A and B are shown apart, each in its own frame.
Chain A
Amino acid sequence: MMRALFTLGPYAGLIAAAIAAYYLFPSNLGFVTTVVVAMIFVLSLDLVMGVAGISTLGHAALYGTGAYAAAIFATLVSADPLLGLAVGAGAGAAIAFVSGLFLMRAQGLTLLMLSIAVTEVLSSLANKYSGLTGGADGLSFTPGALFGRFEFDFYGQLGYIYAVCVFLVVFGMLRIVVASPFGLTARGIKESPARMRAIGTPVYWRLVSVYTFAGAIAGLAGALGAQSTALVSLNVYDFQRSAEAVIMLIIGGTGRLWGAVIGTIVFMTVHQVAASADPFNWLFVIGALVLAVVYIVPAGLLGLPEMVKKLTGGAR
């Protein structure tokens, strides 16, 4: 009974928070939806960076490809949103697999630069083949009705509920994956690739599969983001998107799924509040926040309780 409460409690909390946000910010549902989409994206990054220890500054490559795939599929084949999600996830996984084949051989700065390069190449190609992608003007489309019955409304109410449901499914799935042998070997590779190889883990292929799986989730986030704004433009591949995701993850705490959730909420809220309070100087706030996390709580916000425990526990 207690155990069930312990595992289900956080979900109840998440659902309660989602419902509260729905009633607290009725006029800002668009923004809250982008936060939910970003949470899925950062969860995917957490799997790559926090769990498997693959450093990347090119996660937008997977997001953007999912977004474009969903939008193109919606204009050319079928506007069904759930099919669109599946297509986005598939495209994200495909691009992650192909790029992962050479990315996962690199480390350190080389890996960071290669991941950026992949994103830039995709961005240039999307710009070049504007017949398919709309180029710099972007590609706008109308997502169809959910389950063929519920139309997306102008206020984004259904869009929000839809995004939250997708998020809950992804979050639940990731909790299972992270605790599975697959997730545990990925964690082991982060700690020591040499030892994992010694006990028989195919390190390279395991990294490629983790990256591919994360690609599916990032692609899904991209598709969801595209559907919620009904528009995809070249900025899905922005370097800034990748960099901000890294910032959000480290602020929250890497390697823990809750870190991705908390970090995204904190970063995007601070960003939104600071940018609307002072459109010219908000970067000061973000810069200070980022530096404060690195210098004061390197483990991220989720590391705070442990830090406090250490500080006070030392006296006992």
Chain B
Amino acid sequence: MTTILSILIDGIAYGMILFMISVGLSVTMGLMRVVNLAHGGFALLGGAFTHVAMASLGMPFLLAAPVAVLVVMVLSVPMERVLYRPIYKMGELPQVLATIGITFLMIASVNRWLGSSPLSIPLPAAMSGAMNIGFRTLPTQRIYVIAAGLIVIVGLYALIERTRFGITLRASVDHPGTAACLGIDTSRVFLLTFALGAGLAALGGILGAELLPITAYYPLHYMVLFLTVVAVGGMGSIMGSFVAALGLGILDTATRYLVPDFGTVFFYVAMILVLGFRPHGLLGKA
């Protein structure tokens, strides 16, 4: 019973991290049809900026984290305009190659700037340690992560379903050509979505630093993990990413607890099965 509860809590927290990092990737891939292997780089940058803001500038975590997320979003704007815009119209393989190149440059930059050892992000006392929720104690960090994940999904839902920007975004995902004909500035929608996705990835990277340690090679290490969430959930589907991230997070945590010597076999077999029966992912559109 205790094991099941720990698996669930850890798995859900892990899933929330995966969701925050991958959802931006899923939406941008659905929107622009770009296979973006560099998305984990934004999570790395978020973690690196937070580390620097706390360690060198002495900012408290609660200030450093939002500042880092903002800096990543601002930084992603010129990147989208200069590096990504030319590759939207290219084939799949040049896109893979270009975004691998961008990943390499991000890794090399962080490596040069901060070295290759893990970058610590110490949490404030209120967020670390254990919390007593009546019948048992749980690691506080997990609870914050789960809460943050829920806030993100609710916020995204409201943004997509209830705002004007959400309408233009949905229209651009479904049919960019028609959307443009109706006077929607699709290139602006692309840019805003890209920045939002980068910011969410940064947030996920910062909050998840305890589970996925921030090192220079972060984007390469976890590239496959994030892409798996997108593929299983279905490109462009927010709910899909959420379901896939939670499912894969719980599955991966459970196999680590129960059959550790099988490594990632079950994780990838699950992916093969899902994609075998639903090639466009759980909630993806054909």
Q: B-contacting residues of A (Cβ < 8 Å)?
A: 49, 55, 57, 102, 105-110, 112-114, 116-118, 120-121, 123-125, 127-128, 239-240, 243, 246-247, 250, 254, 280-284, 286-291, 293-295, 298
Interfacial residues of chain B within 88-128, with CB under 8 A of chain A in the complex: 90, 92-94, 96-98, 100-105, 107-109, 111-112
Sample 23 A-B pairs with CB under 8 A, ordered by A number.
A55-B96, A106-B279, A109-B35, A110-B231, A110-B279, A113-B231, A113-B271, A114-B272, A117-B269, A118-B268, A125-B265, A128-B263, A280-B111, A281-B108, A284-B109, A286-B104, A287-B104, A289-B101, A291-B101, A294-B90, A294-B97, A294-B101, A298-B94
Binds A, one of B72-80, B166-174, B176-184, B220-228: B220-228
- A247 interface neighbour in B87, B97, B224, B227, Cβ under 8 Å: B97
Q: How far is the CA of A284 from the CA of B92 in the complex (A)?
A: 23
Are A295 and B98 in contact (CB-based, < 8 A)?
A: yes
Q: How far is the CA of A286 from the CA of B104 in the complex (A)?
A: 7
Docked complex: B247-286 residues within 8 A CB-CB of A: 261-265, 267-269, 271-272, 275-276, 279-281
B31 at the interface (CB under 8 A from A): no
* CB-CB nearest in chain B for A106: B279
Chain B 12-56 per-residue mask, 1 if CB under 8 angstroms from chain A, else 0: 000000000000000001000001000000000000000000000
Contact assessment for A112 and B276 in the assembled complex, using a CB-CB cutoff below 8 Å: no
Determine the chain A residues whose CB is within 8 A of the CB of B94 once the complex forms.
250, 294, 298
User: In the complex the two chains form, is A110's CB within 8 Å of B280's CB?
Assistant: yes
Whole-angstrom distance between the alpha carbons of A113 and B279 in the complex?
A: 11
Interface size on B, residues (CB 8 A): 46
Which residues does chain A contribute within 8 Å of B262, judged by CB atoms? 124, 128
Complex CA–CA separation, A243 to B223 (angstroms): 12
Q: Report if A287-B105 is in contact (Cβ < 8 Å); known contacts: A113-B275, A128-B261.
A: yes
Contact B235 A246, beta carbon cutoff 8 Å:
no
- In the assembled complex, the Cα of A30 lies from the Cα of B187 at a distance in Å of 50
Which 5 residue pairs across A and B have the least CB separation, nearest first?
Answer: A287-B104, A290-B101, A283-B108, A124-B263, A287-B105
Listed in ascending order, the chain B residues whose CB lies under 8 Å from chain A are 29, 35, 83, 86-87, 90, 92-94, 96-98, 100-105, 107-109, 111-112, 220, 223-224, 227-228, 230-231, 235, 261-265, 267-269, 271-272, 275-276, 279-281
Which of A113, A247, A282 has the most chain B CB within a 10 Å cutoff?
Answer: A113
A47 smallest CB distance to B (angstroms):
15
Give every chain B residue within 8 A of A110 (Cβ-Cβ).
231, 275, 279-281
B264 near A124 with CB under 8 A, answer yes
Do residues A106 and B275 form an inter-chain contact, with CB atoms below 8 A? Answer: yes
